[in-house]
Structure 1
């Protein structure tokens, strides 16, 4: 490893480790790391700051920002509040049905809006239901854990649900339709397999009180709490119309027109905000997720500096030199992706690993590599409570809800409460990722 490679990789690795250890300071850590990477890159003759900034995938940031604004418009319409109440009614306050219905609901919502927005919209309703039901620590840990995992799977199911998929769409690694047709069935398969294993092996609902009268009272109380929640059609109509038009454009616009996914997002979100009038203007001024933009911009700069040294190319060549079949090399890469994501979180892992994936895609079918990578990143982000940005938020919201079990003891939801769910979810989703990749390689022969 050369001096530039060692120096810039050390800066990237140090920033990733520190932001994982200090999540409350992660923006300062990565922006500081990016500044150091620019300085080191300039002094070592790798690339100037201007060159590194010019190579940032700005189209990905445009997609991320515009979809975030569209998500806020959906949130303001209260559509997902009503869907959460409908899920409460459908579950009937029966313990295992609550687990299944809210997991499926979160999976569906996360495919349309980003994970944090989905969590803020749906989790408070679930926490209110759990508080009324009367429950136990183990059951709550499994319900909330699977709720978060379903959020990760839903984000990976569509090209607009979460950052790894958005990165694939923005970089042109896969088209909208190609990714959706492959990732949605795979993630749904993973969710069904996980719920089946939980039903048969974990059985979290065992020991939770079941009383038909109490269940009816719980449903009535939830209906009363949310009776005044109404969908604002004046906000929902422009948001839904714009999203539908965007999806149609992604699916059917010919590539030779040169209208990329970032421009479709820009035009679609802009039109929705214009139709929303005053709220649209307010969101355009104040709704920008500056934290996410700064974090990802800094990450792209650090990854770009390391890429300039040729280190990622050397890693790809080392992987190619392994004395095993290409499909086995792909399996090793996917396992590495899952573990690294569990340690460093989805955004940093995907940004760095995609450089190696592009090399693998030159020898193996692209969908096998890219969709397998997205699923492995999803598996890793489900391993630990800290591996996805939605984890700490869910922990904070649960603590704020002050849940109590049937004996009056306070219910926790921390790192070790989530760990059994995380290990099981990682194993199931990673197995689906590997199985999908191998099947895709076999089908392409």
Structure 2
């Protein structure tokens, strides 16, 4: 119909433009939302008030409060200490650096968002690379794998990244149900990826491995970060609140009506109160307005398209495919991965979740939802522009002014990331499909 075509063009046009011009993405998407609201009203689809009423405000509450808690954890310098510990464990040996820092980023990204994780860990890694001496190929694979590990860590827990937060906020899966399924699947994908890189790609080949130089590098890193200490006055309230929130998500009975958004609100509020002055500063100035505006605008555009019945038609088209329901799910997961590679994780997840809910009526819910989260993770690992933290990693690396053993500047751009992205997409998408088929087969 004409309303479907008009609103779909607005949605896809905004998503395409924000992918091509990431520095203007908030203006583009907010403008697209305003245009979608106008078109929806004039075409008789829904008024702006109706569209705003369909915005999942609970998801935005979860996103904002977890962002504030992440900033409190970052201010405690806990992750600075973890980065130094990772340096010590790696022993400045090239492949062990890849292994240890990838696992560290996976763990950190399960608790804080990808951008925070990178800002905390990447500067320490840049100093280590300067002391070690390195090559362009090695740095491209190392940083590429760190971004992918961030994506996998974010997909591993219901509080790590937007797609999982959306599932939690919409009530598609409980905290425990998602965590018990997604964490093993993402950890398996990371293990397979690191195994393939170590055995086949071998990016550490050609990087010098001098034991004396390694000892000097470790000593220099220890000296540089000797004064870094975790601030217990901030760490204790943040960690205590996060632990209490996890316990509440896992064990509070659903009949109480206390949703995950209220748990986040209360837990983060308590942590900020205990942090005193810093808590007040974060509450006033620490809100991630860019993320809130972006997602609010995205939800408005998706709500307008949903009102036209387009998502229901897509669901019916999937049902009409002349294959078994499990293969319909595979087609949906591959589509989700490709669309995420083109448009990034947030827009893809918001648009595809309605179709996923239709599939979940005929197939086990975990197979659909966890499979979708893994496919979105695969797509966000395909291109540097698809990863939320990709442009930040590129900017931080350029600012670090890394040079190889011959004195040539080391880059980290779109094509430098691409080999790691293609391999990661293939591995994670395969794990997503395998998990979904296994979950359908076992009925779990």
TM-score under structure 1 length normalisation = 0.99
Q: Which residue of 2 aligns with 1:313?
A: 312
> Matched residues in 2 for 1:131 and 1:181: separation?
39
Equivalent position of 1:250 in the other structure: 249
- Structure-2 separation of matches of 1:150 and 1:127: 17
Aligned to 2:148: 149
Q: In the alignment, does 2:261 pair up with 1:262?
A: yes
Unaligned runs of 5+ in 1: none
Q: Which residue of 2 aligns with 1:328?
A: 327
Q: CA separation in 2, counterparts of 1:350 and 1:133? A: 40
Q: Does 1:46 align with 2:45?
A: yes
Deviation of the 1:389 alpha carbon: 1.6
Aligned mates of 2:60, 2:127 — CA distance in 1: 35
Verify: 1:291 aligned to 2:290, yes or no.
yes
In structure 2, the residue matched to 1:434 is: 433
2:233 corresponds to 1:226? no
**1:212 maps to which residue?**
211
SS of aligned partner of 1:263? helix
Counterpart in the other structure of 1:371: 370
Number of residue pairs matched?
A: 444
Distance in 2 (CA, whole Å) between partners of 1:134 and 1:58 is 48
CA deviation digits over 1:142-161, x for unaligned, max 9? 00000000000000000000
Distance 1:145 1:434 in 2: 23
Aligned equivalents of 2:96, 2:114: Cα separation in 1: 22
1:178 alignment partner in structure 2: 177
Q: Give the superposition deviation at 1:171.
A: 0.1
Shift of 1:200: 1.1
CA distance in 1, matches of 2:120, 2:55: 32
Question: What RMSD, in angstroms, separates the aligned Cα atoms of the two structures?
Answer: 0.5
Distance 2:209 2:28 in 1: 48
Q: Quote the Cα distance in structure 2 between the aligned partners of 1:388 and 1:16.
A: 14
**Which 4+ runs in 1 deviate beyond 4 A?**
none
CA shift at 1:388, angstroms?
A: 1.5
Within 2, Cα distance between the matches of 1:322 and 1:357?
16
Determine the structure 1 residue equivalent to 2:68. Answer: 69
Using the alignment, how far apart are the partners of 1:383 and 1:154 within structure 2? 16
In 2, Cα distance between the equivalents of 1:327 and 1:406? Answer: 51
Matched, 1:97 2:93: no
- Structure 2 residue matching 1:159: 3-state secondary structure: coil
Which position in structure 2 is the counterpart of 1:418? 417
1:227 match: secondary structure = coil
Distance in 2, Cα, partners of 1:306 & 1:10? 10
State the Cα distance separating 1:339 from its structure 2 match.
0.2
Q: CA offset at residue 98 of structure 1?
A: 0.2
Q: Deviations over 1:251-294 (max 9, x none)?
A: 00000000000000000000000000000000000000000000
Give the corresponding residue for 1:347.
Answer: 346
In 2: Cα distance, 1:414 partner to 1:239 partner: 35
Distance in 1 separating the partners of 2:130 and 2:51: 51
Please list the CA deviations of residues 178-218 of structure 1 after superposition, one character each: whole Å capped at 9, or x if unmatched.
00000000000000000000011100001100100100010
The one-character-per-residue Cα deviations of 1:84-112 (angstroms, maximum 9, x if unpaired) are 00000000000000000000000000000
CA distance, structure 2, for counterparts of residue 142 and residue 88 of structure 1: 18
Partners of 2:266 and 2:293 in 1: CA distance: 23
Aligned-residue offset at 1:414: 0.3
Structure 2 counterparts to residues 105-120 of structure 1, below 5 A: 105-120=104-119
Distance 1:332 1:71 in 2: 36
Q: Which residue of 2 aligns with 1:405?
A: 404
Equivalent in the alignment of 2:17: 18
Alignment of 1:191-206 (within 5 A): 191-206=190-205
Partner SS state of residue 230, structure 2? coil
Aligned to 2:357: 358
- Which residue of structure 1 aligns with residue 54 of structure 2? 55
Using the alignment, how far apart are the partners of 1:141 and 1:228 within structure 2? Answer: 31
